[in-house]
Amino acid sequence: MPSHNYFTSSIGKKQITAITGLGLVGFTAAHLAGNLLILVGADAFNAYGHGLISNPLIYVAEAILLAMFVTHIVMAALVTIQNTAARGKRYYIKNRSGHGETIASMTMPYTGIIMLVFIILHLINFKYGAHYETTVDGVVMRDLFKLVVEYFSNPLYVAWYVFAMIALGLHVGHGLQSSLQTWGLNHPSYTPKVKMISVAYGVLVAIGYSGLAVYCYFLN
């Protein structure tokens, strides 16, 4: 049972970072699946977006999503600050061994910051971007397809997305395995498989989202 100081304890903060991270991994999968409807066509993508935003439960889902993002960022930042401080003290006694560290694990705070900048710009450009309208099967709805395709007509934005999606892939590829280990999925026989699946998922989201940006560029 978590004690009263669970939220300030080191393990508490790690577990909260891990569980919110897993929730956000779920979001990356759902959002990518929805965005793949861009490949089907404008009507399919717009009808899907319209279905989502006209469901009253969207406000609950958005509140949960925002809470997960904020909690994940705050807890991860606190863990990072705490670890850096602890490492600073230990440094005089023993150098870091470097064992088990990868580019993805060492760059987690940086790829995390890139994602934060990405999401703020992403919401400004898409969620709060231009309101084009279209009609699908007699229903008037927001033309998000037009907005997305127009946005990616600029090759600089496509390049920024590819860069940010590589950061996302690295962040999620390490974060997923790390979260699962924090929650106890740590055993010699399946740890290598968990690592492999996590890295594969990171590669999948990086290629999936970047591929869509490049695809939209060529629709122009």
Of the pair 165, 180, the CB lying nearest ligand HEM is at: 165
Of the pair 122, 207, the CB lying nearest ligand HEM is at: 122
Q: How many CB atoms lie within 10 A of CB 45?
A: 23
Asked if 62 interacts with ligand HEM (CB under 6 A), we say yes
Q: Which amino acid is at 82?
A: Q
Give CA–CA dist 175/178, Å, rounded.
5
CB 198 within 8 A of CB 177: yes
The minimum distance between CB 25 and ligand HEM, in angstroms, equals: 9
**Count of positions on this chain that bind ligand HEM (CB under 6 A):** 18
Q: Hey, is 136 helix, strand or coil? A: strand
Applying CB under 6 A, among 12, 122, 203, 214 the residue interacting with ligand HEM is: 122
Asked if 158 interacts with ligand HEM (CB under 6 A), we say no
Of the pair 105, 215, the CB lying nearest ligand HEM is at: 215
Give CA–CA dist 50/30, Å, rounded.
16
Q: CA 114 → CA 6, 12, 21, 98, 168, distances in Å? A: 29, 25, 16, 24, 8
Asked if 168 interacts with ligand HEM (CB under 6 A), we say yes
Applying CB under 6 A, among 126, 132, 157, 160 the residue interacting with ligand HEM is: 126
Of the pair 62, 101, the CB lying nearest ligand HEM is at: 62
Asked if 212 interacts with ligand HEM (CB under 6 A), we say yes
Q: Which amino acid is at 58?
A: I
Give CA–CA dist 118/129, Å, rounded.
15
Of the pair 11, 53, the CB lying nearest ligand HEM is at: 53
Chain centroid to CA 177: 14
> Taking each helix axis from N to C terminus, what angle separates 191-219 and 10-35, rounded to the nearest 10 degrees?
40
Q: Hey, is 118 helix, strand or coil? A: helix
Of the pair 26, 192, the CB lying nearest ligand HEM is at: 26
The minimum distance between CB 134 and ligand HEM, in angstroms, equals: 13
Asked if 68 interacts with ligand HEM (CB under 6 A), we say no
Q: How many CB atoms lie within 10 A of CB 131?
A: 9
Asked if 148 interacts with ligand HEM (CB under 6 A), we say yes
Residues that bind ligand HEM (CB under 6 A): 28, 31, 35, 49, 52-53, 62, 119, 122-123, 126-127, 144, 148, 168, 209, 212-213
